[in-house]
Structure 1
Amino acid sequence: MAGNSDPLTPRAKLAVTAGKAVAAASRAAGRGSGSVIGGRVALKLDPDLLARLAQNLDCVLVSATNGKTTTTRLIAEALRAAGPVVSNALGANMPAGITSALAGGSEAKFGVIEVDEKYLAGVARDTEPKCIALLNLSRDQLDRAAETRMLAENWREGLAGVKAVIVANADDPLVVWAASSSPNVIWVAAGQMWKDDAWSCPSCGGVMQRPGDDWFCGECGFRRPTPSWALSGDHVLDPHGSAWPIHLQLPGRANKANAASSAAVAAVFGVPPQVALERMYQVQAVAGRYDVVQFEGRDLRLLLAKNPAGWLETFSLIDPPPTPVILSVNARSADGTDTSWLWDVDYTRLTGHPICVIGDRKLDLAVRLEVANQQFQVCENLDQAVQLCPPGRIEVIANYTAFQDLRRRVGN
Structure 2
Amino acid sequence: MSSFSVLTGKLVRSASKLRGGGSALPGLVVEKIDPDFIRRTLADLPLGVAVVSGTNGKTTTTKMVVELLESQGLKVFTNRTGSNFTRGVAAALLGEVDWRGRLDADVAVLELDEAHAVHFVKLIQPRYSLLLNVLRDQLDRFGEIDKTTRLLEAIAKATTGTVVLNREDPRVAGIAGSLDKQEVRYFGLHESLRSTFPNDDEMRGSSAEAAAAVLPADVVLERVAETDADFRVDNTVVTTGLKLRGVYNIFNAAAALALARVIAGPQANSEALFTALSNVEPAFGRGESLVVNGQPLELVLVKNPSGFRLGLKSFAAHGYSTMIAINDNYADGRDMSWLWDVDFETLAENGVDMVTGVRAYDMALRLKYDDVPVAAIDPDITDALKKFIASSGSSPMRIFCTYTAMLAVRRELSKITTVEVVS
TM-score tier by shorter-chain length is 0.7 to 0.9
In structure 2, the CA distance between the partners of 1:181 and 1:272, relative to structure 1 (3 Å rule), is farther
Could you say which residue in structure 2 is the equivalent of 1:48?
36
Displacement after TM superposition at 1:273 (Å): 3.4
Displacement after TM superposition at 1:208 (Å): 5.6
Displacement after TM superposition at 1:277 (Å): 2.2
CA distance in 2, matches of 1:378, 1:158: 45
Q: Is the 8 A contact 2:319 2:395 kept in 1?
A: no
Q: Is the 8 A contact 1:61 1:112 kept in 2?
A: yes
Displacement after TM superposition at 1:28 (Å): 1.1
Corresponding position: 1:366 with 2:372: no
Q: Is the 8 A contact 1:302 1:397 kept in 2?
A: yes
CA RMSD of aligned residues (A): 2.4
Q: What amino acid is aligned across from residue 362 of structure 2 in structure 1?
A: D
Residue 248 of structure 1 is aligned with which of 242, 246, 256? 242
In structure 2, the CA distance between the partners of 1:248 and 1:19, relative to structure 1 (3 Å rule), is same
Displacement after TM superposition at 1:196 (Å): 6.4
Displacement after TM superposition at 1:125 (Å): 3.3
**When you count helix as a share of all residues, which structure comes out higher?**
2
Could you say which residue in structure 1 is the equivalent of 2:19?
29
Displacement after TM superposition at 1:317 (Å): 2.4
Residue 175 of structure 1 is aligned with which of 172, 177, 195? 172
Could you say which residue in structure 2 is the equivalent of 1:403?
406
Greater Cα offset, 379-388 or 52-61:
379-388
Q: Is the 8 A contact 1:194 1:309 kept in 2?
A: no
CA distance in 2, matches of 1:289, 1:196: 20
Displacement after TM superposition at 1:225 (Å): 3.2
Q: Is the 8 A contact 2:81 2:88 kept in 1?
A: no
CA distance in 1, matches of 2:14, 2:78: 18
Q: Is the 8 A contact 1:231 1:260 kept in 2?
A: yes
Corresponding position: 1:235 with 2:230: yes
Count of aligned pairs: 386
Could you say which residue in structure 2 is the equivalent of 1:89?
80
Displacement after TM superposition at 1:329 (Å): 0.8
Secondary structure of the 1:198 match is helix
CA distance in 2, matches of 1:12, 1:209: 53
Displacement after TM superposition at 1:320 (Å): 4.5
Q: Is the 8 A contact 2:156 2:163 kept in 1?
A: no
Secondary structure of the 1:180 match is helix
Could you say which residue in structure 1 is the equivalent of 2:61?
71
Q: What amino acid is aligned across from residue 187 of structure 2 in structure 1?
A: V
Residue 38 of structure 1 is aligned with which of 20, 23, 26? 26
Displacement after TM superposition at 1:159 (Å): 2.9
Residue 275 of structure 1 is aligned with which of 266, 272, 290? 272
Corresponding position: 1:98 with 2:97: no
Greater Cα offset, 69-78 or 228-237:
228-237
Aligned-pair identity in percent equals 29
In structure 2, the CA distance between the partners of 1:291 and 1:161, relative to structure 1 (3 Å rule), is closer
Corresponding position: 1:13 with 2:8: no
Greater Cα offset, 382-391 or 358-367:
382-391
Q: Is the 8 A contact 2:59 2:283 kept in 1?
A: yes
Residue 375 of structure 1 is aligned with which of 355, 373, 376? 373
Residue 197 of structure 1 is aligned with which of 184, 194, 200? 200
Displacement after TM superposition at 1:137 (Å): 1.6
In structure 2, the gaps of 5 or more residues are 98-102, 224-228, 379-383
CA distance in 2, matches of 1:259, 1:224: 21
Displacement after TM superposition at 1:286 (Å): 1.3
Secondary structure of the 2:151 match is helix
Secondary structure of the 2:120 match is helix
CA distance in 2, matches of 1:366, 1:253: 26
**Residues 71-128 of structure 1, C-alpha deviations (whole Å, 9 max, x = no match):** 1110001111232111101211111111222341511111111001112223223232
Q: TM-score, normalised by structure 2?
A: 0.85
In structure 2, the CA distance between the partners of 1:22 and 1:88, relative to structure 1 (3 Å rule), is same
Q: Is the 8 A contact 2:327 2:359 kept in 1?
A: yes
Secondary structure of the 1:303 match is strand
Tell me which stretches of 4 or more aligned residues in structure 1 moved more than 6 Å: none
In structure 2, the CA distance between the partners of 1:226 and 1:166, relative to structure 1 (3 Å rule), is same
**Residues 170-229 of structure 1, C-alpha deviations (whole Å, 9 max, x = no match):** 0111212234322321011155756463369xxxxxx9642xxx535xxxxx88633332
Greater Cα offset, 318-327 or 103-112:
318-327
Secondary structure of the 1:275 match is helix
Could you say which residue in structure 1 is the equivalent of 2:110?
113
Could you say which residue in structure 1 is the equivalent of 2:253?
259
CA distance in 2, matches of 1:384, 1:60: 43
CA distance in 2, matches of 1:94, 1:192: 32
Q: What amino acid is aligned across from residue 50 of structure 2 in structure 1?
A: V
